[in-house]
Amino acid sequence: MILTKRQLKYVKQCLTLAVLSLLFNLGMPHMSLAAHENYEALRQGVEKPYEYSILGPQPSVDSYEMVLSREERLISADTAEYNEQASLPLEGEPTVVREHWLTVTAYSSEPRQTDSTPFTTAWITPVRDGIVALNFLPKGSMVRFPDKFGDKIFIVEDRMNVRYPYRADIWMYTRPEAVAFGLKYLRMEELGARVPRDYVLNHYEAAFPGMR
């Protein structure tokens, strides 16, 4: 099949755009992920979550809403008590609602691994054993890694960098523990229960009391 000059020019343009798109996704994944989230928000008719500046994509919410994730908008007072009861930890064996296979890493309370408040999670709770950082589930979600930790339940209280949309990061007491854990590909069970933030603050002890 012989292409005309016009067809060859069109094919070259398509290949150039494809290469540029690939380089953009590989070189600036955070920009690509933010653009994808904006597209999904517009498609669903909701406010787009990111704005662009010279520093790259920035959350298009105020500081208070940044503490509360999009899944945790303020609710009316008459429904708050019902939702609080509905999301309390379940008695007996938790129900597995779905399974995920994903890359799992570990981190500790160091500013270079977290931010300027290494002893406080993104949910404004103190760090402790049993915390996992995860981006694709609401804060308060309960998960397990049965092939590594058996029946131990972890609670989603922290977030990862936006460039890791489908990865889990488990909090550990020390950096050597986190380094020894390394990088693993594990099965994660998502449980059909969520824990309210007040329940966490009142029922779990901080790993380093008084530290932020």
Q: Residue 11: which H helix or E strand, with range?
A: helix 5-27
Q: Give the global pTM.
A: 0.58
DSSP for 22-67, please give it: HHHHHH-HHHHHHHHHHHHHHHTTS--SEEEETTEEEESS-HHHHH
Task: Answer for the pair 34, 57: CB distance below 8 angstroms, yes or no.
Answer: yes
Say what the pLDDT of residue 126 is: 94
Give the pLDDT confidence score for residue 181 in this predicted structure. 96
pLDDT at 122: 92
Determine the pLDDT at residue 73. 40
Residue 32 has a pLDDT of 56
CA dist., res. 85 & res. 20, Å (int): 50
Delineate the domains of the chain, giving CATH numbers in brackets.
5-60 (no CATH), 89-203 (2.40.40.10)
In the predicted model, residues of the chain with pLDDT beneath 50 are 54-55, 61-87
pLDDT in tens, 68-101: 444 444 333 333 443 444 445 555 577 999 999 9
